[in-house]
Amino acid sequence: MKHYKTISELCKSNGFPPPENPLLGILTFEKSEKCAFIEREFTMAFYTIALTKLKTGTFQYGRTKYDHENGSLAFLKPHQKIMMNNVETSEKGFLLYIHEDFLLNHNLHSEINKYGYFDYEVNEALHLSPKEEDIIWDLFNKIELEYYNNQDEFSKDIVITHIDSILKYAQRFYKRQFLNRSVLSGTIITKFTDILKQYFENGGLQKNGLPSVKYMATKLALSPKYLSDLLKQETGKTALEHIHISLVMEAKNILMSTDKTVAETAYELGFENPPYFTRLFKKEVGVTPTKYRDRFLN
């Protein structure tokens, strides 16, 4: 699989104009005669922000294909596997390549990791409203103006400020998208609960231990980060917290319906370390498993 170490290498290999800055690349579809990637599968050593609308073909990273027909904003992190298949873009769109070194000595170098949507799957891209798209284009146009305007000692800070604004607006717009998809959120929560219930009933805990967020996300055809953010927005709790809540409910049933010790209960629930089970139980319930059982026996 092809790996592009530099933005210059990516541009040269695919016939794109060379970057004005080796650590920052811009490609607008309307100013490029074509936007066609030669490699069908590749990775890159830099961040990418893409506003894309495809005429034909599919664009994939992670597990899921998506056609981007309606236009969307996607965020790719370094070394993310990307797949292209007969892609033809519409005229309106842009690609913004940001090498990690471009962010050195700036707060965004560390803060960019807090934007969880860089870990989303492509079908979880941000679908912009017309007003939201105008905001993103305004910020991008400011970046583009600075990019081609004889870069000086102020250019980097100005560009990074606008990139930071795009990321902050994206965070806000994703919140709106979660709220607008509340019906979907409710469906996901129901399916999430059903999958956990089935996992418990089929002896998954005894066979494989605690179900991970990744396991649950795979079952729901979502990325782990998107699943957690979706549940957090809708219920106030992350996917892992929901797993723990369901686990504690199962523990309560065992404690109240059997004579098994706390350690035996922990092992049955897939915990290799009973003290960890006790701490988790106390965190969720407020008392230890022993005190919880004693409360009903005395």
The pLDDT tens digits of the residues spanning 1-16 come to: 788 999 999 888 888 8
Spatial neighbors of 56 by CB under 8 A, at least 6 apart, are 86, 87, 88
Phi and psi (nearest 5°) for 43?
-130, 160
* Domain span(s) for CATH 2.60.120 in the chain: 2-180
Average model confidence (pLDDT) across the chain? 82
Q: How far apart are CA 43 and CA 65, in angstroms?
A: 16
Distance, in Å, from the CA atom of 229 to the CA atom of 241, rounded to the nearest integer, reads: 12
Q: How many whole angstroms separate alpha carbon 15 and alpha carbon 39?
A: 12
Tell me the C-alpha distance between 190 and 203, whole Å: 20
Q: Tally the residues of the chain.
A: 298
Over residues 58-84, the mean pLDDT reads 62
Q: What is the pLDDT of residue 60?
A: 45
Domain with CATH 1.10.10.60 in the chain: 183-297
φ/ψ (deg, to 5) at 82: -125, 140
Residue 146's pLDDT is 94
Is 226 strand, coil or helix?
Answer: helix
Higher pLDDT, residue 190 or 48: 48
Query: Which CATH architecture group holds 2-180?
Result: Sandwich (2.60)
The torsion of the CA quartet 97, 103, 108, 114, rounded to 10 degrees, works out to 60
Interatomic CA distance for residues 233 and 177, integer angstroms: 10
pLDDT, position 135:
93
Residue 105 CA to residue 98 CA, distance in Å, equals: 15
Chain center to CA of 102: 22
Q: Which architecture characterizes domain 183-297 according to CATH?
A: Orthogonal Bundle (1.10)
Greatest CA separation for the chain: 80
CA angle 162, 166, 168 (to 5 degrees): 110
Q: 59-73, 110-124, 160-174, 239-253: which range is least confident on average?
A: 59-73
**Rounded to 5 degrees, what are φ and ψ at 214?**
-60, -40
pLDDT at 54 over 60: no
Q: Taking the chain, what is the end-to-end CA distance rounded to the nearest angstrom? A: 65
Tell me how far apart the alpha carbons of residues 33 and 28 are, in angstroms, rounded to a whole number. Answer: 10
Q: What angle do CA 193, 236, 62 make, to 5 degrees?
A: 65
Lookup result for tokens 């961040």: 47
Q: How far apart are CA 36 and CA 34, in angstroms?
A: 6
Instruction: Give the integer Cα–Cα distance in Å for 78 and 43.
Output: 7
What is the C-alpha separation between 120 and 127, in angstroms, rounded? 13
The candidate with the shortest Cα–Cα distance to 218, out of 197, 189, 192, 182, is 192
Classify burial at 285, counting beta carbons within 10 Å of its beta carbon; exposed 0-12, middle 13-18, buried 19 or more.
middle
Percent of the chain with pLDDT over 70: 83
Q: How confident is the model at residue 157 (pLDDT cuts 50, 70, 90)?
A: very high
Q: Give the span between the Cα atoms of 42 and 79, in whole angstroms.
A: 9
